[in-house]
Structure 1
Amino acid sequence: MVDAADTVLLNGGIYTVAPDRSWAEALAVRGGVIVEVGGNEAVRPLVGPNTRVIDLEGRMALPGFHDAHVHPTMGGFALLGCNLEGEASVEAIIRRVESCVQAGGEGWLEGHAFDLSVFGQDGPHKSLLDAIGSARPIVLWSSDGHNAWANSRALDLAGITADTPDPSLGVIEREPDGSPSGTLRETAQELLRAAIPKPSAEAAQQALETGIRHLNANGITSFIDAWVGREDYESYLALDRAGKLTARVVTSLTYESGFAKHVGEEFEAVLAARGDYESERLRHDSIKLFLDGVLEGETAALLEDYVGLGHHGELILDPEALDAAVTRFDAMGLQVHMHAIGDRAVRAGLDAIEAARRANGASDNRHHISHLQMIHIDDIERFAELETAANFQAAWAYPDEWIMDLNLPVVGEERVQAMYPMASVERAGGRIVGGSDWNVSTANPLEAIEVAVRRQDASAAGGPVLNPGERLSLESMIDAYTINGAWLMRQEAMTGSLEVGKRADIVILDRDLFGIPAADLNEVEVVMTMLDGQTVYESETLTWRGELDD
């Protein structure tokens, strides 16, 4: 007698992402593991009296999405607090902050994910926040994570004055008399963070849980947290022990930069204790290195000077120190996860991985470089040669205000048109993985997939294109968010495709991605997300029969 399945999906278009990229009608799950994939006739015999039977009614199912670069705790704080995401003008941002002030509260008011691109090259001014008329210190964090905006009260409490020097690798934008204008870039943001009381452990756990639930709602079942320290280890483990960790997670411990959460002996202690915080769904075997800043504010490290500025940005770690760090972590069997925007930073990262391979030999540590806004043509083939994943935030790869208003004036048309060379890396044999960088940008993989396919604004049917030669296929982008992401997380034997013996991490969509125009991809909705065969998200807005009377 055949053992009955716990859950069965029938009557669907199931894109398995198996090696042959096959499709199936039905799928069965027992004990969180896929036990059958095929036609309805093959799966129906596994339906028992207690089997949950889900009628897909022709909808598409595919492996749960893998987000290879995300910040769920920060995103959770934004969702729970003064969230500025999507406010597309100065006036809209100010109105939203005013409403946050009117909602009440005491102490510091933090706003999250404001759009820096609407303010021009010098960034926003403190007077705009001062005019709101609140006595509270107000700090707004930009969506790129590299810029902050403060009112006069916040600057006073943080002790930031005309006499405060710019910190190493940071910039305090100033008035002609040297006083701070209200915009702080890169490591200068830490002057504000040092003055703001840290959230409680309970608040951090609530934010993390909220952030993960948001990822689940976007079909994400596995992710890499790109910026963590010991407090994050503790939050993840607390959620896991409470049965609330609804994703598979790899975290990246920050190392040696103004963004590092621990330095020196404290870093070493946290690194040594990382195993104490691990579980079946939770691993801490990745190290995060920041190699440069961003183009906004001209802190990204370039091979050639910024236009008319006489400098090309700085590397956060000098090449010798970077090589030594990557070689050390590679020898320990750890994955290195790098932030690199400028082409000089990307080259330095690849050079460091090459140095590690010379010293340690080839490994299976699966290092990756994130963002990759600019890659010199001579470095395109090195991703494949060095078995280094190219971790693109594809939702950025279109000519938006950030690129056209802030980047174009300082790097020029030729370098703009070479941005985010995803197809070039793929053609050279490189492995593309998808990351959102949420809450810097949308967590929705379908929006990022659409932008990668079209290289146009996902919110518009037409419009300007950012280098059409770098468009990727839909198949490639699904791979990036499924099997390639699973490979990067070293779990491709467990997730990333819907095959017998793998975990039942599944996303169900309201329509077939291959059956609609590319311009409609971002409009597709997630109907259900499953982890180990258990529902971790189900849409409340869509009407569907779901359960099948059988």
Structure 2
Amino acid sequence: MTADVLFTGGSVFTGTGSPLRGHTVAVTGGRITAVVADAEVGALRGPGTRIVELEGALLAPGFQDAHIHPVGGGIELLQCELSSAADAEEAVALVAAYAEANPEEPWILGGGWSMDHYPGGAPTRGLLDAAVGDRPVLLMSRDHHSAWASTAAIRAAGLDAATPDPVDGRIEREADGSPAGTFHEGAMELFAEVRPATSEDLAYRGLLRAQEELLALGITGWQDAMVGQGGGVHDPLAAYRRALDAGELKVHVVGSQWWRRDVGLEQIGGLLALRDEIAALGREERLSLATVKMMVDGVAENQTAAMLAPYRDHHGHDTDNRGLSFIDPELLREAVERLDAEGVQVHFHALGDRAVREALDAVAAARAANGPSDGRHHLAHLQIVDEADTARFAELDAVANLQMLWATHEDQIDELTLPFLQDGAEARQYPFGDLVRDGARLAAGSDWPVSTADPLAAIHIAVTRVAPGLDAEPLGGAHQRLALETAFAAYTSGSAYVNHRDHDTGHVREGYLANLVVVAPDPFGLAPEELQRAAVRSTWIEGERVYAAPDAG
């Protein structure tokens, strides 16, 4: 049988190991039908065969993002988007410009501001008031663990000096106790009753915009880390269903249903019912909901990540704060046992070392109660992992879901995190190398819009542990670097495994879907410090080109 498409003239990363050289990949009917030596390609070429000359580029499985928030990211691109701001002054100018261009909007909503641009990581309401006057403004931080509000927004929510901190969050305050303008974690929900709801149309447009952005980065599938009501983020499920019905959902999506931390085990029935409702659509190759997302802790920058040792104050003295465990560890264990028994995958947000331990303890309890399962439970973020716990990933068959882009020195970690951690904590930051040496299975994700969704940018840092152009030592030490093959595998076959799609995606292999990405120059031919030069040239889903770089022809 002749092929519909032949990819030839480059190297082929098959999903693991070193790339193949001198091989051609054939695609017929949307699937890979042959991976053969160039000398054997003649029989596959027919009069209607499309020849894709790689010209030395790399052909690889399409990237899969195992932890991302696409609908929220797309919505932010359509609202007041601040991630491009280089400093606080530029962020305020962007808010002012957006307000002037959108005088009819009752609230100015959006996000993307960086904590390291503001003293103590906490921007004040006065900055917004000066820019937009008496208009309500509510903007999510880049990491979506804090919100920045204007005086008008604070007043609309009825908040004042007498408003207590919620149990799962904190309000930054002025000297008299009045809200200063920054609200961390659960305190963001104090605006839930007054901020405008996201319309279904805006969410749908956000999804399509996000899909366009992600396809251009070579991403052909993902796990949405927050489906359901939670964290102040619009539930994306209706947008996914609309895109599915309209034939506009080109990628495959696993939705992680949000575990509400204000509700207990009684929510499991509803989670299972929604899983089964989506499964009954018979479109699981495009959309499934067999995963539950559990937010174990917060983030280190605002000192809500759950730590084994106490945070320090500005003078280097121990405080009584060890961060927050958002879910009681006993409840966490019981919930994971129940979910695992029902065949549900658990997707943990676990950033601090205590949170990682609590999540692993919950997986251990499930293994003890239920025996081995195919749950493929995974822990995302893993900023700090105690040495005693890295080997437990392999022992418990738990996947380490890495956000590789964060494993470098930068202002947010150097100014807002490391100075407030114990001595020696830097050596435990994102211990990718230790996890690999201890046999952990890896997946990878971006957490976009927290940071760029570009897998190649993340892979560069995983391999070097230094951001491009930065004159610094590798964060945590050179021994925490990943080999390029390992980083590529995490973003392809590793994430496909987590998404339960390793039977037909994540590999360049006969019978697999032709979900592919072309990258040039070939990263495997570059020095590690030159990996930033690699870029996506084209993206293919089921043998159809869905993205081509502007100069790709």
**Normalising to structure 2: TM-score of the pair?**
0.93
What is the aligned partner in structure 1 of residue 125 from structure 2? 126
In the alignment, the residues of structure 1 paired with residue 154 and residue 275 of structure 2 have an alpha-carbon distance, to the nearest angstrom, of: 34
Q: Which one is further off, 240-249 or 281-290?
A: 240-249
Q: Which one is further off, 474-483 or 102-111?
A: 102-111
Q: 1:438 to 1:391 in 2, by over 3 A?
A: same
For 2:198, what is the secondary structure of its paired residue?
Answer: coil
1:276 is displaced (CA, Å) by 4.3
Is the CA contact 2:63–2:219 (under 8 Å) kept in the aligned structure 1? yes
Letter of the structure 2 residue corresponding to residue 284 of structure 1: L
In the alignment, the residues of structure 2 paired with residue 372 and residue 11 of structure 1 have an alpha-carbon distance, to the nearest angstrom, of: 39
- Pairing 1:110–2:109 present: yes
1:98 is displaced (CA, Å) by 1.6
What is the aligned partner in structure 1 of residue 232 from structure 2? none
1:189 is displaced (CA, Å) by 0.6
Q: Which one is further off, 197-206 or 9-18?
A: 9-18
Q: Which one is further off, 413-422 or 228-237?
A: 228-237
Is the CA contact 2:134–2:151 (under 8 Å) kept in the aligned structure 1? no
Letter of the structure 2 residue corresponding to residue 256 of structure 1: R
Q: Which one is further off, 302-311 or 462-471?
A: 462-471
What is the aligned partner in structure 2 of residue 251 from structure 1? 255
What is the aligned partner in structure 2 of residue 420 from structure 1? 430
Q: 1:268 to 1:488 in 2, by over 3 A?
A: closer
For 2:347, what is the secondary structure of its paired residue?
Answer: strand
Listed one character per residue, the Cα deviations across residues 110-146 of structure 1 (whole Å, up to 9, x for unaligned) are 1221111221325111000001133321111001110
Q: 1:89 to 1:164 in 2, by over 3 A?
A: same
Equivalence map 1:445-484=2 (5 Å) = 445-458=455-468, 460=469, 462-466=471-475, 467-484=477-494
Q: Between the two proteins, what is the percent identity of the paired residues?
A: 39
Matched residues, number:
539
What is the aligned partner in structure 2 of residue 237 from structure 1? 241
What is the aligned partner in structure 2 of residue 495 from structure 1? 505
What is the aligned partner in structure 1 of residue 45 from structure 2? 47
In the alignment, the residues of structure 2 paired with residue 168 and residue 267 of structure 1 have an alpha-carbon distance, to the nearest angstrom, of: 25
Listed one character per residue, the Cα deviations across residues 354-413 of structure 1 (whole Å, up to 9, x for unaligned) are 000111111111000000001111101000000000011110001111111000121044
In the alignment, the residues of structure 1 paired with residue 517 and residue 142 of structure 2 have an alpha-carbon distance, to the nearest angstrom, of: 27
Is the CA contact 1:101–1:134 (under 8 Å) kept in the aligned structure 2? no
Letter of the structure 2 residue corresponding to residue 54 of structure 1: V
Is the CA contact 2:11–2:20 (under 8 Å) kept in the aligned structure 1? no
Which consecutive residues of structure 2, in runs of 5 or more, have no partner in the other structure?
Answer: 230-234, 313-317
- Pairing 1:294–2:292 present: no
Letter of the structure 2 residue corresponding to residue 78 of structure 1: E
Letter of the structure 2 residue corresponding to residue 64 of structure 1: G
What is the aligned partner in structure 1 of residue 407 from structure 2? 397
What is the aligned partner in structure 2 of residue 176 from structure 1? 175
1:238 is displaced (CA, Å) by 1.4
Q: 1:365 to 1:356 in 2, by over 3 A?
A: same
In the alignment, the residues of structure 2 paired with residue 97 and residue 298 of structure 1 have an alpha-carbon distance, to the nearest angstrom, of: 27
What is the aligned partner in structure 2 of residue 374 from structure 1? 384
Equivalence map 1:270-309=2 (5 Å) = 270-271=274-275, 273-276=277-280, 279=283, 280-307=285-312, 308-309=318-319
In the alignment, the residues of structure 2 paired with residue 193 and residue 40 of structure 1 have an alpha-carbon distance, to the nearest angstrom, of: 60
1:265 is displaced (CA, Å) by 7.5
In the alignment, the residues of structure 1 paired with residue 399 and residue 93 of structure 2 have an alpha-carbon distance, to the nearest angstrom, of: 41
What is the aligned partner in structure 2 of residue 547 from structure 1? none
Is the CA contact 2:18–2:485 (under 8 Å) kept in the aligned structure 1? no
- Pairing 1:516–2:526 present: yes
1:26 is displaced (CA, Å) by 1.5
1:229 is displaced (CA, Å) by 1.6
Is the CA contact 2:356–2:385 (under 8 Å) kept in the aligned structure 1? yes
Q: Which one is further off, 127-136 or 181-190?
A: 127-136
In the alignment, the residues of structure 2 paired with residue 277 and residue 264 of structure 1 have an alpha-carbon distance, to the nearest angstrom, of: 21
Match of 1:359 among 360, 363, 369: 369
For 1:28, what is the secondary structure of its paired residue?
Answer: strand
Is the CA contact 1:190–1:258 (under 8 Å) kept in the aligned structure 2? no
Letter of the structure 1 residue corresponding to residue 250 of structure 2: T
In the alignment, the residues of structure 2 paired with residue 349 and residue 219 of structure 1 have an alpha-carbon distance, to the nearest angstrom, of: 31
Letter of the structure 2 residue corresponding to residue 464 of structure 1: E
- Pairing 1:387–2:385 present: no
Q: Which one is further off, 381-390 or 300-309?
A: 300-309
1:522 is displaced (CA, Å) by 2.4
1:301 is displaced (CA, Å) by 0.8
Q: 1:259 to 1:195 in 2, by over 3 A?
A: farther
1:88 is displaced (CA, Å) by 2.4
How big is the alpha-carbon RMSD for the aligned residues of Structure 1 and Structure 2? 2.0
Letter of the structure 2 residue corresponding to residue 527 of structure 1: R
Q: 1:271 to 1:46 in 2, by over 3 A?
A: closer
Q: 1:512 to 1:21 in 2, by over 3 A?
A: closer
- Pairing 1:439–2:449 present: yes
In the alignment, the residues of structure 2 paired with residue 535 and residue 258 of structure 1 have an alpha-carbon distance, to the nearest angstrom, of: 45
What is the aligned partner in structure 1 of residue 11 from structure 2? 13
Letter of the structure 2 residue corresponding to residue 257 of structure 1: R
In the alignment, the residues of structure 2 paired with residue 344 and residue 86 of structure 1 have an alpha-carbon distance, to the nearest angstrom, of: 33
For 2:417, what is the secondary structure of its paired residue?
Answer: helix
1:511 is displaced (CA, Å) by 1.0
What is the aligned partner in structure 2 of residue 4 from structure 1? 2
For 1:491, what is the secondary structure of its paired residue?
Answer: coil
Q: Which one is further off, 494-503 or 190-199?
A: 190-199
Q: 1:16 to 1:180 in 2, by over 3 A?
A: same
**Normalising to structure 1: TM-score of the pair?**
0.94
Which consecutive residues of structure 1, in runs of 5 or more, have no partner in the other structure?
Answer: 545-550
Is the CA contact 2:409–2:472 (under 8 Å) kept in the aligned structure 1? no
What is the aligned partner in structure 2 of residue 153 from structure 1? 152
What is the aligned partner in structure 1 of residue 54 from structure 2? 56
In the alignment, the residues of structure 2 paired with residue 383 and residue 276 of structure 1 have an alpha-carbon distance, to the nearest angstrom, of: 33
Is the CA contact 1:137–1:153 (under 8 Å) kept in the aligned structure 2? yes
